[in-house]
Structure 1
Amino acid sequence: MTLPEGFQVSVFAEGIKNARSMALGDKGTVFVGNRKEDKVWALVDKDEDGIAERVYLLAKDLKMPNGVAFKDGDLYVAEVSRILKFSNIEENLNNPPAPEVIYDQYPTETHHGWKYIAFGPDGKLYVPVGAPCNICLSEDPQYASITRMDPDGSNMEVYVHGVRNTVGFAWHPETGNLWFTDNGRDMMGDDIPDCEVNVATEAGQHFGYPFWHAGDVKDPEFGKDTNAEDYIAPIQKMGAHVAPLGMSFYSGKMFPEAYKKKVFVAEHGSWNRSKKSGYKVSMITYEGDKAIKKEPFIEGWLNDKTQKIWGRPVDVLELKDGSILISDDYAGVIYRVTH
């Protein structure tokens, strides 16, 4: 891997098959969901040496439990059509309780059905529902949206529309607005449309899908008689097919001061491009809710010359000491980045 000067990468945990979304418990437990193994893990670095020496299997036989979130001692897990809650989880890692189903009315469609979840500053749980296709217009307003609900599963509502498939988001530390990644549609060519980073400033906004992509690409099937100005354009174009997933605003003290104005974005990498793109962690420098500059932070999972890959970054999680974790669902590894 290549990183900026002064940074190092080590292995925090390995053998975590299909490691995807991560969440941090109050006592430092790292919870990990996945898309293909149907399991949820907890990782514990008790001696705080940067290596998780204990791995707990919390649940199995779940339906794509990609999303994990932690609040008030409880672990929330998102399956395709429902949200589970494991109460007082850090006190019961050896013998996890049976989960409570707090919501079970999401669509059962598995195409873009795996979910990233997180609690916002308003205390609500935010849950995206991806489009059930590459490109389509569904009559169900839940599809291609980000929804939110109270922690007990009540008051579910669609927060924003026109989001094809977000698998990562975070709230701006100053404005409090929601920044989220979105994966662009396929089958329009190698270089269009761009994947996106967007910012939602209020409920009810529409981000274009399936009518417009990346703010300026009209969909050949659904864009007729529509105007780009009617939809919210991305604040950062990421490149076509790079598949941006998890993201994290840096707020720790370990990295140099300049990194307080950066957000890290994991680019999972292309699957349908003649020459691969993505397979790296990028960083975006920002001022308020504006993206100023995008540049690579970690590269090396893709050999551009041979087009061979050995890893695919998925999520970014900041630990209490200011280091960050990066999950890799291809290698089944979670990396720790320090300075």
Structure 2
Amino acid sequence: MNKVTAGIALFSAAFYSTWALSVPLEKLTLPDGFKIEVYAQDVTNARQMALGKTGIVYVGSRGEGKVHAVVDTNKDGVGDKVVVVAENLKMPTGLAYKDGDLYVAAVSQVLKYKNIDKEYDNAPEPEVVLDGLPTETHHGWKYIDFGPDGMLYVPVGAPCNICETVGDDKYDDPRFASILKYDLANGDMKWVAKGVRNTVGFDWHPDSKELWFSDNGRDWMGDDIPPCEINRVSAEDQHFGYPYIHGGDIKDPEFGAGKSPDDYVKPEIKLGAHVAPLGVHFYQGQQFPKEYSKSLFVAEHGSWNRSKKSGYRVMRADFDGTEAGEYHTFIEGFLNPDDTVWGRPVALLTMPDGSMLISDDFANVIYKVTYQK
């Protein structure tokens, strides 16, 4: 090794060592046999992920306004190249991959980047495939995906902490606080769910094909109410209570008068207040132990509206067939004992080898979880 090469190697080692100290993986605890490591770094504000046909992982952001492509160039299981596919977008949190194209949600629009696996590093120009969604940015960022029916599922969060949007002078739009789906071939829209305050994660059960989604509970009702929720859509156009009923049985102090909890769908799993569940993901890989098959993993992004922080962990719900069972911790340690935070999990993605990726928009990295007996 010559002096120049040695100098570069020394600098690279020092840089990585310094960076690694800012992501203290040793603080994280996982079940026996599981290992977590960094899959990719410098993925600023990493949010929803989508896997391309060639193995490229595409990553959205929120405040950063960018879409990244993470490439494992030498196929060693680590993303060693990060490319900015697009920038200066409006909260491109959610994205989906279908038939070689990448779809990106940018609040009021959904953009399509054609043939993305070949064009990701050529500053591709998008095509607008869905326009005219509400422009409100409060809960306006979106998680999107194509369902088993081929439709594009698009949630529209409430434009407030708590408000009625139908008939309201400022927010008179029935699409707020709902989940919609679109046939992009003809623009047809259908209602999937109503009364949903803000979902930034959903997935379909592998067997029943029913949609399960997270919902973030309202703020300013105290440290411990209302609970955040995991819900199931058993029939389209159901109403899940917002803004009248929270957690299945708690009447809203402002809008709950005269409303009955029995008129709304109750959550399948009640979570802690303010834990902010974002990504939810049914594991269908082959690497994890058998009891993890078809489990629902939940990224609890973590609280802000609470005197003592809660969440900041990855949880797992056992399933007995199509019914949710015990809800317990899978990864914790992002929250320090002194109530400071160094990481916030957002979204989850199973890779072809059965490992699972987890994005972190606070530490600006993507983690990789593997299992070995």
Aligned to 1:239: 272
Matched to 1:43, the amino acid is V
- Does the residue aligned with 1:253 lie in a helix, a strand or coil? coil
Structure 1 Cα separation of the partners of residues 191 and 88 of structure 2: 28
Q: Does 1:210 align with 2:243?
A: yes
Q: CA deviation at 1:158?
A: 2.5
Aligned to 1:330: 362
Q: CA deviation at 1:291?
A: 1.4
More helix by share: 2
Structure 2 Cα separation of the partners of residues 81 and 337 of structure 1: 34
- Structure 1 segments (4+ residues) deviating >3 Å: none
8 Å CA contact 1:67–1:115 kept in 2: the answer is yes
From 160, 165, 178, the counterpart of 1:133: 160
Per-residue deviation, residues 260-286 of structure 1 (Å, max 9, x unmatched): 141110000000111100000000001
TM-score by length of 1: 0.98
Aligned to 2:61: 34
Q: CA deviation at 1:129?
A: 0.2
Aligned to 1:189: 222
Q: Does 1:278 align with 2:301?
A: no
Matched to 1:298, the amino acid is I
Structure 1 Cα separation of the partners of residues 236 and 111 of structure 2: 25
Structure 2 Cα separation of the partners of residues 96 and 308 of structure 1: 38
Aligned to 2:213: 180
8 Å CA contact 1:86–1:96 kept in 2: the answer is no
Structure 2 Cα separation of the partners of residues 289 and 206 of structure 1: 21
Matched to 2:50, the amino acid is A
Q: CA deviation at 1:160?
A: 1.0
The residue correspondences of 1:11-22 to structure 2 (distance < 5 A) are 11-22=38-49
Mark the structure with the bigger radius of gyration. 2
Q: Which moved more, 1:144-153 or 1:114-123?
A: 144-153
Aligned to 1:321: 353
Structure 2 Cα separation of the partners of residues 251 and 18 of structure 1: 26
The residue correspondences of 1:1-339 to structure 2 (distance < 5 A) are 1-139=28-166, 140-152=173-185, 154-303=187-336, 305-339=337-371
> Identity across aligned pairs (percent)?
58
Q: CA deviation at 1:220?
A: 0.9
- Does the residue aligned with 1:337 lie in a helix, a strand or coil? strand
- Does the residue aligned with 1:91 lie in a helix, a strand or coil? helix
8 Å CA contact 1:24–1:31 kept in 2: the answer is yes
- Does the residue aligned with 1:18 lie in a helix, a strand or coil? coil
Structure 2 Cα separation of the partners of residues 278 and 198 of structure 1: 18
- Does the residue aligned with 2:60 lie in a helix, a strand or coil? strand
Matched to 2:213, the amino acid is F
Q: Which moved more, 1:309-318 or 1:254-263?
A: 254-263
Structure 2 Cα separation of the partners of residues 307 and 153 of structure 1: 50
Q: CA deviation at 1:152?
A: 4.0
**Could you say what the CA RMSD is over the residues aligned between the two structures, in angstroms?**
1.0
TM-score by length of 2: 0.89
Matched to 2:302, the amino acid is G
Structure 2 Cα separation of the partners of residues 285 and 57 of structure 1: 37
Matched to 1:121, the amino acid is P
Q: Which moved more, 1:169-178 or 1:43-52?
A: 43-52
Per-residue deviation, residues 154-204 of structure 1 (Å, max 9, x unmatched): 112322100000000000001000000000000000000000000001211
Matched to 1:279, the amino acid is Y
Unaligned runs of 5+ in 1: none
Equivalent pairs, count:
338
Q: CA deviation at 1:153?
A: 6.5
More strand by share: 1
Structure 1 Cα separation of the partners of residues 120 and 102 of structure 2: 11
Q: CA deviation at 1:237?
A: 0.7
Q: CA deviation at 1:96?
A: 4.2
Structure 2 Cα separation of the partners of residues 153 and 109 of structure 1: 25
8 Å CA contact 2:206–2:294 kept in 1: the answer is no
